[in-house]
Amino acid sequence: MVIFLIEQREYAYSELESYLQTLASKYTFLQLTKQGRTIGGRPIYIVKLGNGSQNVLYTGGFHGSERLTVLSLIMFLEELCEALVRNQYYSISNARSALKGKTLYFIPCVNPDGYEIARAGVQTAGEFAERIEEILDNNDYKYWNANLNGIDINHNFNAGFEQLKELERADGIFGPSPRRYGGISPESEIETQILTSLCREISFNKVLAMHSQGEEIYWQFGENTPESGLRLAELFATASGYRVAEPSGTASYGGFKDWFIDEFARPGFTIEIGKGENPLPPSTLYAIYERLKELFLISFAI
Ligand SMILES: [Zn+2]
């Protein structure tokens, strides 16, 4: 059994950076690199594990108020590394056997500037603080989901962008906003570009985008959705007790998994972790992670 270093509390982004560096020096087979920098100057990290030909990408922290997505991916990474070192099981499989032939990539926090605003307020935005204050328009910083430009990264991908803009306008969103504004054009944001260029460079067999909350699994986008998407979503649901979400009339557009499916016709998933109101309390992290462990295993082992 692994004793987790990560505690059930809020972490400043700078602490997470140190945490990732600690993991990379403890588990020397990990490759930790900076994939780029936000306009707030914060590095966006990518961690690579394994050297197989099948690639899986895990992403979290798209939305500032969804910080447990970041922590649960780091827990997954840490526990898997420990199981590899000790030649033990991760969930229901031997970790080394499960990882054979696979390479896992983790971008635990896609939107670190938004993560910091929602965690600790506008002063974390530095020279952009005044602008963030204006965009907030007296709303609580705790529910901030966008980046420093007031653009929601998970609405900034080129997947049904025109439909997305129509829905925005219907919701009264016409410009930079704490949440759900997709910007003037897709891929306008550095955070979005980091993901799209990575996916164009590395052939991912599947991608997982962690969000919160709702205990739901989204797997579908348009006619390029592969049949294996539903099959995997059903396995994920059985493993976690989460629900396979059915597409509804107000289907979402412009998200990372939407774009990935549309562009590559391979399975992409949005996993809505936990249940309650965002931001979910850090005290629920371990319980949420326990529900996700077998889902995480399946996501790369099969
Ligand atoms: Zn989200």
Domain range for residue 181? 10-201
pTM of the entire structure?
Answer: 0.97
Same domain, 73 and 169: yes
Same domain, 221 and 193: no
Q: What is the distance in A from the centroid of ligand 1 to the CA of 28?
A: 32
Same domain, 165 and 239: no
Q: What is the distance in A from the centroid of ligand 1 to the CA of 86?
A: 34
> Is the separation of the CB atoms in 106 and 35 below 8 Å?
no
pLDDT (tens digit per residue) in 129-177: 999 999 999 999 999 999 999 999 999 999 999 999 999 999 999 999 9
- Angle at CA 55, nearest 5°, toward 49 and 58? 70
Q: Is 250 contained in some domain?
A: no
Same domain, 108 and 221: no
Distance CA 81, CA 84 (A): 5
Q: What is the distance in A from the centroid of ligand 1 to the CA of 212?
A: 6
Same domain, 108 and 25: yes
pLDDT at 246: 80
Distance CA 98, CA 50 (A): 11
Q: Is 194 contained in some domain?
A: yes
Q: Is 276 contained in some domain?
A: no
Show the tokens assigned to 245: 């979400």
Q: What is the distance in A from the centroid of ligand 1 to the CA of 100?
A: 31
Walk along the chain (302 residues) and give the pLDDT tens digit of each residue: 455 678 999 999 999 999 999 999 999 999 999 999 999 999 999 999 999 999 999 999 999 999 999 999 999 999 999 999 999 999 999 999 999 999 999 999 999 999 999 999 999 999 999 999 999 999 999 999 999 999 999 999 999 999 999 999 999 999 999 999 999 999 999 999 999 999 999 999 999 999 999 999 999 999 999 999 999 999 999 999 999 998 664 457 999 999 999 999 999 999 999 999 999 999 999 999 999 999 999 999 98
Same domain, 107 and 235: no
Distance CA 18, CA 218 (A): 32
Task: Quickly count: other Cβ atoms within 10 Å of residue 59's Cβ.
Answer: 27
**How many domains are contained in the chain?**
2
Same domain, 74 and 126: yes
Same domain, 137 and 221: no
Q: What is the distance in A from the centroid of ligand 1 to the CA of 211?
A: 4
Same domain, 191 and 228: no
Residues that are catalytic: 253, 272
Same domain, 47 and 181: yes
